[in-house]
A and B are shown apart, each in its own frame.
Chain A
Amino acid sequence: MNKLLTLSNISKSFDRDRVHALKKISFECDKGDVISIVGSSGSGKSTLLRIIAGLEIPDKGEITLDGNLINDNNTFTSAEKRDCSLVFQDFALFPNMTVIENICFGKKAANNETLIDELMEFTVITDLADRYPHEISGGQQQRVALVRALSNNPSLLLLDEPLSHLDLELKDNVRNELINLIQKVGATVLMVTHDTKDAMLMADKIIVLNDGQIDQINSPPKIFNFPANAYVARLFGKTNILPREHFPDISHHFFDLDFGKDVVSIRPHELKIVHKNVDTKIPTIKGKVVSVQSLGSYSEVLLVNDEIEVSANIENDQKIEIGSQIILTIDKK
């Protein structure tokens, strides 16, 4: 059997049922998977991670880890007895212990000396062993926290916003390091993030959480190209949600409550300008340009007609003036 983690119908509410943090969450995670849970803040993703780690007790539902039931109505395996490690958003390094003391703190770390040496060498923190957490940089603290969690040899590694505490420049480097490290140890990873870019770059599978419910589970390219609803579509970048009747050719569509009908998601880069004399079979959008914002290599153009408002990314070599009428067409199937 390849299933490592199974959640079924996990629910949790706070503040005497006034806030439903999670509503009947169910998903599975295979051994070796890197899964990313994304969602805007308040979507319940951190609560979900804390429930899996055993730091929070759900109101209802079951969790199985590696074939063992760890949580249901009558069972609760406490955090210290669960075979998973959590890397905290603010790293939670013990300020009164040196780097090496932090890393060796885990209950099972004592038996894993060779693994610790290897991990420390791989992440280049061997020289920092005797420093205290406040004496090393944010990126280094991040690596120490990761090594500390991995030294316990968990079957599941949980990451809570692993890159959010780092500045932009550092982020790309650390992300690559993290991908390398995960591949090296072959860990199964469940990662919570609000940054969809991190999720796209690191995960095999993405779970989109919206207001305590799962909106979609799929691979990154599928989620980006075939979003289940407008929330998912918007979460992964700017997009135009337009009624489907204008674009019968586009196969992927979904029902949207705001419109009250079927809609399609067309990203700004999927639109291009056409001239009047093209084939009339291709669907087009005609309209008046209301704003043009240059963003370096391309411009963001906002087009309005009687029915819809569309944003498109147009390459800078095409001169467009505010107030002019243009025609856009879709570069997507």
Chain B
Amino acid sequence: MIKPAGSKLGVGLSNSIIKIFRILRQEFLFKLNFWTIPAFLIGLFIFIPMAEVLSSLTTYSSNWTHLKDTVLFSYLSNSLILIIGTASFSLIFGVSCAWIVSNYTFRFRKILEWLLVLPLAIPTYISAYAYFDILELFNPLLIWIRTNIGFEIMQLVNNSLVYLVTILVMASVLYPYIYLLARASFIRQGKQLSDAARTLGHNSKSIFWKIALPMARPAIVAGMSLVIMETLNDYGAVKHFGVPTFTSGIFRTWLGMGDLTGALRLSGILMLLIFSLLIFEKKLRSRSKYHEILNSKPSSEKKLLNKNKSIIAICCCSIPLVLGFFIPVSRMISWAWISRNSASDLDGIELIGNSLGLATITSLTIVAIATFLVFSARYYKSAITYFSNRLAILGYSIPGAVIAIGILLFVAQVNHLTNYVLTGSLYLLIFAYIVRYLAVAWQPINAGIESNCDSLNHASQTLGSSAYTSLTRVNLPLIKDTIITAGLLVFIDTVKELPLTLILRPFNFETLSTATFDLSSQAQIAESSIPALYMIMIVLAPLIFLNYRLENIE
């Protein structure tokens, strides 16, 4: 019998609805317990600040028409230019270095492979301060253009230079995200496929473009989305170079113009943009199927380069490294030396203590929460818990400034309802870090439990042991290393964090990042290099440890 298409669609839809109801019914009847209920609620609670911002899109704002007519477009276009530029340069730096160190062997390769990660220790705003005077180098050129060509051309050139410098400064410290993921992917691809391509008559160049690069695409795209998120999150660098982006616009609207609703509206739009980017990326990935080859031997044989090519390889790998690490660090060391006396009123010990303490507590808390959430959802295969946790980890893609506004709004509502004042407490700051960095721990722990423990959990379930026993005797011992890695990643991110700390810290509470920012915004760039160097040193130790572990695993 031929049915009209409409009724077929209707039947499909009603089937889906029945199925969803059946799943929800099973969730509520069989899967609610002392693990899944708290995990579900924690997930929702962490999502609250983001929900606050999103819901503000529908509220009325008196200044909004003004903002929309004057600055919205320039925030949007400036942010887009920065994203595209930074992502492109990071891509070039990251992928080319990853390809060189994972496929060729030459003098200093080992040390370069290892050094290339170091720019991760430098937050974008510190790199920007280190290059604060770079634009002045172009002044003679600009003056020459003004006198010989014209004022408008000079302005154009000046603007382009500002963008180019900002983009380069950011890309040179953000490219390691792409480098790390691309390198891991190139190594995992193994020799088998490239050998097959070679026997079919392809040379290295064509293997790179036709096989290695397409296969590494998911990893590279993942790295690029990290770069994009960090670019959007940045406040210090764009403020320093005077590029009005969404994030700096939010700060300006809120703190400069005292317009909280306007800032909220801007944040909401930025969040919508980010979510659509995330969905677009997901669609892109699900349409193309790229499989990692499992059980393929990692390629250990690397092609030996001759002397001339070795020099080229070394130069290629050195460019981002020098730009992103050696120049900023050496400049800061020299400034720190110059200002060693004038900065004596800076209490280094207290700053270090604050940063270290805050980051340690935050990473321990986040790791504990992430482990609990992942375990509860996976052990009981609870769809609603997993869903609420997915909402909770969205915070990683949202700029700190937006999260801070969401949290302040939430705090104001709590205050209104209970008269309880939370603002300016360390708990609130730690909560903000949890909202922002939960994903940093959740992702690796989720992957770790999925690959190491899911089937073992089934075994321990059928052997009659409780969830607690499974967690402590099977899961925790097996993912111990993953948990340490996750904790260190959170630690690094928290020490470097600026916008959230700046907005939500208690009165008179300074960390290394806020001290650096405060000093440099008072034009004491030289003095700001001292806390900046402390910060880099604190971050370098776990970073080197992580890098070492990563290489051993590979």
Cα distance A193–B185 in the bound complex, in angstroms? 36
A33 sits at the interface (CB 8 A): no
B415 sits at the interface (CB 8 A): no
Stretch at the interface among B15-23, B201-209, B226-234, B526-534: B15-23
- Contact between A94 and B474 (Cβ–Cβ < 8 Å)? yes
When distances are taken between beta carbons in the complex, the residues of chain A under 8 Å from B19 are 13, 16-17
A29 sits at the interface (CB 8 A): no
B443 sits at the interface (CB 8 A): no
- Contact between B464 and A76 (Cβ–Cβ < 8 Å)? no
A:76-106 near B, CB below 8 Å: 76, 78-82, 84-86, 88, 90, 92-97, 105-106
B459 sits at the interface (CB 8 A): yes
When distances are taken between beta carbons in the complex, the residues of chain A under 8 Å from B29 are 74, 76
**Contact pick for A81, options B22, B455, B464, B478, CB 8 Å:** B464
When distances are taken between beta carbons in the complex, the residues of chain A under 8 Å from B460 are 94, 105
Interface 1/0s, chain B 312-340, versus A by CB < 8 A? Answer: 00000000000000000000000000000
Cα distance A312–B446 in the bound complex, in angstroms? 56
Say what secondary structure dominates the interface of chain B.
helix
B:29-53 near A, CB below 8 Å: 29-30
Contact A55 B465, CB 8 Å, known A17-B15, A94-B474: no
**Contact pick for A95, options B18, B461, B465, B478, CB 8 Å:** B478
Interface footprint category on B: 20 to 34
B193 sits at the interface (CB 8 A): no
Say what secondary structure dominates the interface of chain A.
loop
**Contact pick for B458, options A59, A86, A93, A152, CB 8 Å:** A86
When distances are taken between beta carbons in the complex, the residues of chain A under 8 Å from B463 are 80, 85, 105-107, 109, 148-149, 152
Interface 1/0s, chain B 436-463, versus A by CB < 8 A? Answer: 0000000000000000000110111111
B20 nearest CB neighbor, chain A only:
A16
- Contact between A96 and B474 (Cβ–Cβ < 8 Å)? yes
Cα distance A85–B456 in the bound complex, in angstroms? 13
B524 sits at the interface (CB 8 A): no
- Contact between A92 and B455 (Cβ–Cβ < 8 Å)? yes
When distances are taken between beta carbons in the complex, the residues of chain A under 8 Å from B26 are 57, 76
**What's the least CB distance linking A99 to chain B, in Å?**
14
A106 nearest CB neighbor, chain B only:
B463
B147 sits at the interface (CB 8 A): no
A53 sits at the interface (CB 8 A): yes
Interface footprint category on A: 35 or more
Interface centre among B22, B460, B462 (most CB of A within 10 A): B462
A108 sits at the interface (CB 8 A): yes
Contact A16 B15, CB 8 Å, known A76-B29, A80-B466: yes
B27 nearest CB neighbor, chain A only:
A57
Cα distance A158–B18 in the bound complex, in angstroms? 31
- Contact between B459 and A108 (Cβ–Cβ < 8 Å)? no
A162 sits at the interface (CB 8 A): no
- Contact between B464 and A107 (Cβ–Cβ < 8 Å)? yes
B6 sits at the interface (CB 8 A): no
Cα distance A166–B122 in the bound complex, in angstroms? 52
B4 sits at the interface (CB 8 A): no
Cα distance A85–B459 in the bound complex, in angstroms? 8
Cα distance A269–B456 in the bound complex, in angstroms? 45
A220 sits at the interface (CB 8 A): no
**What's the least CB distance linking A161 to chain B, in Å?**
13
B477 sits at the interface (CB 8 A): yes
**What's the least CB distance linking A297 to chain B, in Å?**
38
**What's the least CB distance linking A277 to chain B, in Å?**
57
Cα distance A109–B375 in the bound complex, in angstroms? 25
A15 nearest CB neighbor, chain B only:
B19
When distances are taken between beta carbons in the complex, the residues of chain B under 8 Å from A86 are 458-459, 462
Cα distance A88–B463 in the bound complex, in angstroms? 12
**What's the least CB distance linking A79 to chain B, in Å?**
4
When distances are taken between beta carbons in the complex, the residues of chain A under 8 Å from B478 are 94-96
A82 nearest CB neighbor, chain B only:
B462
When distances are taken between beta carbons in the complex, the residues of chain A under 8 Å from B474 are 94, 96
**What's the least CB distance linking B483 to chain A, in Å?**
14
- Contact between A80 and B461 (Cβ–Cβ < 8 Å)? yes
B466 nearest CB neighbor, chain A only:
A80
- Contact between A105 and B465 (Cβ–Cβ < 8 Å)? yes
Contact A108 B464, CB 8 Å, known A74-B29, A76-B30, A95-B478: yes
Interface 1/0s, chain A 141-162, versus B by CB < 8 A? Answer: 0000000110010000010000
When distances are taken between beta carbons in the complex, the residues of chain B under 8 Å from A212 are none
**What's the least CB distance linking A150 to chain B, in Å?**
11
A243 sits at the interface (CB 8 A): no
B:108-148 near A, CB below 8 Å: none
Q: Can you list 19 A-B pairs with a CB-CB distance of less than 8 A?
A: A16-B19, A54-B462, A55-B461, A55-B462, A57-B30, A59-B22, A78-B30, A80-B464, A85-B462, A85-B463, A86-B458, A88-B458, A92-B458, A92-B459, A96-B478, A105-B460, A105-B465, A108-B464, A152-B463
Taking A94-B456, A158-B462 as given, write out 15 further A-B residue pairs in contact, using a Cβ cutoff of 8 Å, ordered by the A residue number. A16-B16, A17-B15, A55-B462, A74-B29, A76-B29, A78-B30, A78-B461, A79-B462, A90-B455, A92-B456, A94-B459, A105-B460, A107-B463, A108-B464, A152-B464
